[in-house]
Amino acid sequence: MMNATRRGLLCVLLLWGAVFASPSQVGVCGIPQAAQERKQIQSKQGFPGLYLTGCSEPRCFNGGTCRQALYSSEFVCQCPEGFVGKRCEIDASATCYKDKGVTYRGTWSTVESGAECANWNSSGLASKPYSGRRPDAIKLGLGNHNYCRNPDQDSKPWCYVFKAGKYISEFCSTPACSKKDDGDCYFGKGLAYRGTRSLTTSGASCLPWNSMILIGKVYTAWKTNAQALGLGKHNHCRNPDGDTKPWCHVLKDRQLTWEYCDLPQCDTCGLRQYRQPQFRIKGGLFADITSHPWQAAIFAKHRRSPGERFLCGGILISSCWVLSAAHCFQERFPPHHLKVVLGRTYRLVPGEEEQVFEVEKYIVHKEFDDDIYDNDIALLQLKSDSLSCAQESDSVRTVCLPDADLQLPDWTECELSGYGKHEASSPFYSERLKEAHVRLYPSRRCTSQYLFNRTVTNNMLCAGDTRSGGNQDNLHDACQGDSGGPLVCMKDNHMTLVGIISWGLGCGQKDVPGVYTKVTNYLDWIRDNTRP
């Protein structure tokens, strides 16, 4: 007859080894067979044959399903795809870190010097402020591994390395994620979001949509149209009910509830529904406003007569701010004499989705030179009774501002748009929005030598139609009336503002580029003047 200690040990071993046992065998460790069968029937989360029950408290991270052995404190976590570790705390699929990397849980383990990270559980780290032996180690991502982490909210992930007989900290060589990672954000209300974010705004891990805890809830993996709603055997954030943003079920203080997810809205700047132009004209192509939804039309009231006239183009860069060219405002109009129209395809015909704004104020660069058009940039603040002005739609959307270090290759093809004249000799502006395709000139070709000795400064860039065989009748270019409009180029699948239409010598002259205000030189000026 075995003693109680040995019998208890055998019971634990039998419980954990039950996966190899026949379900029809007689009760184990005094547990009646019927009771075992009930537990087995209740456990349908991928543990066939195991006599387990749900954990008494959440122990698994990243949506892992926790199962606890009967009459034991031992537990196991069934991890969602891509996560590993005893508590699903390691994201094996993470290839980069976001922001400062505080939430990075990947497997990178090399520092910038090339050395290998030390295990956070190493005895030599016992006296260090951060080690795998801290009570909150698991929450900080520390444990029995040597992966890079940022437990102290430093500037990027780091780890300890053993050098010259002691442990020192060094930053890791972990790659930083792209700032424009549309897979980790949602558009609109997030109804179509199918990403893998699984944390809520409080930091809680989402429950899998197929968790047995959710039986009786409306939105689960068992719903008839679950697949269409994005629900399934995962714990990723979703918005199946048309709420304001993606959410998920969570356990808080052992109570089942739900929370919105910690998921940002995608930056929609520079996105558009491009329509291939159908009509070619002198200087460019007729276009629809949905192809250039950041295009603005600026009108000015006549000083001594009723009515208004078209003044210049503009560029929507935020809900309440429009960029334009400084030379458009040399008449020093009172702000209330100006009007900005967004979402209009035909210059003088109201559009179905257009938005019209009065101007609160406008700011002309104080160093604008009206002789050579240096610093040819201006800002217009739209007037509104609320904190927002322009409402996003297919016809109205902001353009992306460039990063300060943006350098596109020479001869990159870009686009400009506007309501300007078809050619220099035309007495009329275009009745419809036009677009033109031009290429960025190398800086060595953007000099006075190529522009009939006109002054060209470092605040300017050049672009023109470089097609071979082109002539003055079919070359694309900006023309009078296009001033203040955008020169945009594709960057990371978003149209990015590179230049503001400023000046040129004629329109569509062969081998003579148009000149644009270089936007990267004015990012600080823009931010300083648009700051609330």
Q: Convert the pLDDT of each residue in 96-128 to its tens digit.
A: 788 888 988 988 888 887 788 999 999 999 999
* pLDDT at residue 218, as a whole number: 94
Whether 262 maps to a domain, the answer reads: yes
* pLDDT at residue 82, as a whole number: 67
Query: Contact at 8 Å (CB) between 38 and 182?
Result: no
* pLDDT at residue 427, as a whole number: 86
Which of 68, 79, 135, 125 lies closest to 105 in space, CA to CA? 79
Both tokens of 299, joined, read 């009108």
CA distance 223 to 234: 14
Q: Which contiguous run of DSSP H or E holds residue 14? A: helix 4-16
Query: Contact at 8 Å (CB) between 287 and 485?
Result: no
Alpha helices per DSSP H over 180-298: 226-229
155 CB-near residues (< 8 Å, 6+ apart):
100, 171
Whether 224 maps to a domain, the answer reads: yes
How far is residue 103 from each of residues 100, 133, 206, 439, measured CA to CA in Å?
Answer: 8, 19, 16, 42
The DSSP 8-state label assigned to residue 231 in this structure reads -
Query: Contact at 8 Å (CB) between 456 and 517?
Result: no
SS3 487: strand
SS3 76: strand
Whether 485 maps to a domain, the answer reads: no
List of the chain residues with pLDDT < 70: 1-52, 63, 81-82, 93, 95, 178-183, 278-282, 468-473
pLDDT per position as a tens digit, 159-175: 999 998 999 999 998 87
Give the number of other Cβ atoms within 10 Å of residue 433's Cβ.
Answer: 24
Q: What angle do CA 339, 341, 345 make, to 5 degrees?
A: 145
Both tokens of 352, joined, read 């179905």
The DSSP 8-state label assigned to residue 403 in this structure reads P
SS3 520: helix
Which residue range forms the structural domain that includes residue 204?
179-266
Q: Give the CA radius of gyration of the chain.
A: 32
Whether 361 maps to a domain, the answer reads: no
DSSP string, 440-479: EPPGGGSSGGGTTT----TTEEEEE---TT--TTT-----
Q: How far out from the chain centre does Cα 196 lie?
A: 14
Longest dimension (CA), the chain: 113
- What does pTM read for this prediction? 0.59
SS3 265: strand
Whether 488 maps to a domain, the answer reads: no
* pLDDT at residue 468, as a whole number: 56
Whether 183 maps to a domain, the answer reads: yes
Instruction: Read off the amino acid at residue 299.
Output: F
* pLDDT at residue 32, as a whole number: 35
Which of 369, 321, 377 lies closest to 519 in space, CA to CA? 377
Query: Contact at 8 Å (CB) between 70 and 56?
Result: no
Whether 252 maps to a domain, the answer reads: yes
The DSSP 8-state label assigned to residue 483 in this structure reads T
What CATH number is associated with residue 186? 2.40.20.10
Whether 241 maps to a domain, the answer reads: yes
CA distance 522 to 530: 12
Catalytic residue annotation? 327, 376, 483
Q: How many domains does the chain have?
A: 1
Query: Contact at 8 Å (CB) between 373 and 503?
Result: yes
